[in-house]
């Protein structure tokens, strides 16, 4: 790692790290920021942080929580995050499911899962982030009416995610015509993983799901 980025990990990351030393389901995101925010958005697996940084710049009244288990990605985000946006940004350098367990109900106004590892082999399906339990977690922490945005250019990941989310009673696919999922949304900010196509990649799909107002139920639906 570059010396400058190592210094950011050592000096800046502790200031922006999300503490998880509270009872499950009680973390209020607004309490993490040093100033008021209108709402809080969550990015799961932010990679090198291009999307999170761009969204923070475009939405100055919004707080951002970003999860990324790879230290190189966290360092890249810190290197590009303007100092003035640090007050509205908090980071978990670990598995996002730990944060989902900690967050209070209906505390997230929007969530992003963009170009995740597809784990394409059948025997690796359980490693994919989108699973019934994870969707239960997301449904609990997202406000009714909030949106989950997913993007992928891998056919296995596309089909798996669409099937899993459509089977979940707390999410509704918002697409009404092909243009709603074949073209990037108007507020789209690209990532390096979007342009780094792996073998077997196809045209990206941009899927948007609304969190419905139904009560959260256990998995097994």
* Whole-angstrom distance, CA of residue 52 vs CA of residue 44: 10
Let me know: does 74 contact 4? Beta carbons within 8 Å.
no
Q: Which domains can be identified in the chain, with CATH numbers?
A: 3-211 (3.40.50.150)
Considering 85, 95, 117, 180, which one is annotated as catalytic? 117
Active site residue 94: no
Let me know: does 92 contact 65? Beta carbons within 8 Å.
yes
Task: Tell me how crowded residue 91 is: count the other CB atoms within 10 A of its CB.
Answer: 24
Query: According to the model, what pLDDT value does residue 198 have?
Result: 60
Give the DSSP letter string of the chain.
--HHHHHHHHHTHHHHBPP--S-TT-B-GGGGSSS--SEEEEEES-TTSHHHHHHHHH-TTEEEEEE-S-HHHHHHHHHHS-GGGGGGEEEE-S-HHHHHHHBPTT-EEEEEEES-----SGGGGGGSS--HHHHHHHHHHEEEEEEEEEEES-HHHHHHHHHHHHTSTTEEE---STHHHHS--TT----HHHHSPPTT--S-EEEEEEEPSSPP--S--
Query: According to the model, what pLDDT value does residue 199 have?
Result: 62
Query: According to the model, what pLDDT value does residue 205 have?
Result: 96
For residue 102, what are its two tokens? 């900690």
Average pLDDT over the chain, rounded to an integer? 92
pLDDT, tens only, 145-196: 999 999 999 999 999 999 999 999 999 999 999 989 999 999 999 877 665 6
CA 46 to chain centre: 7
For residue 15, what are its two tokens? 């200031």
pLDDT, tens only, 23-60: 999 999 999 999 999 999 999 999 999 999 999 999 99
Let me know: does 40 contact 63? Beta carbons within 8 Å.
yes
Mention every residue, 6+ apart, whose C-beta is less than 8 A from residue 55.
41, 43, 62, 64, 112, 187, 189
């Amino acid at each position: 790692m570059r010396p400058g980025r190592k210094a950011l990990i050592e000096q800046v990351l502790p200031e922006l790290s999300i503490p998880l030393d509270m009872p499950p389901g009680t973390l209020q995101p607004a309490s993490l920021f040093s100033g008021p925010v209108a709402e809080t958005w969550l990015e799961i697996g932010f990679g090198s942080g291009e999307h999170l940084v761009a969204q923070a710049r475009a939405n100055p009244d919004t707080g951002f929580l970003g999860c990324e288990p790879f230290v190189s990605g966290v360092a890249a985000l810190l290197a590009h995050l303007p100092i003035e946006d640090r007050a509205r940004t908090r980071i978990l350098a670990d598995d996002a499911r730990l944060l989902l367990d900690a967050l209070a109900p209906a505390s997230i106004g929007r969530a992003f899962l963009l170009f995740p590892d597809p784990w394409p082999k059948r025997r690796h399906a359980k490693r994919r982030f989108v699973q019934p339990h994870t969707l239960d977690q997301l449904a609990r922490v997202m406000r009714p009416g909030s949106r989950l945005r997913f993007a992928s250019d891998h056919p296995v990941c596309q089909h798996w995610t669409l099937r899993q989310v459509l089977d979940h009673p707390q999410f509704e696919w918002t697409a009404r015509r092909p243009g709603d999922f074949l073209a990037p949304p108007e507020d789209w900010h690209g990532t390096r993983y979007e342009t780094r196509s792996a073998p077997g990649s196809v045209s990206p799909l941009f899927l948007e799901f609304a969190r419905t107002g139904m009560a959260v139920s256990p998995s097994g639906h």
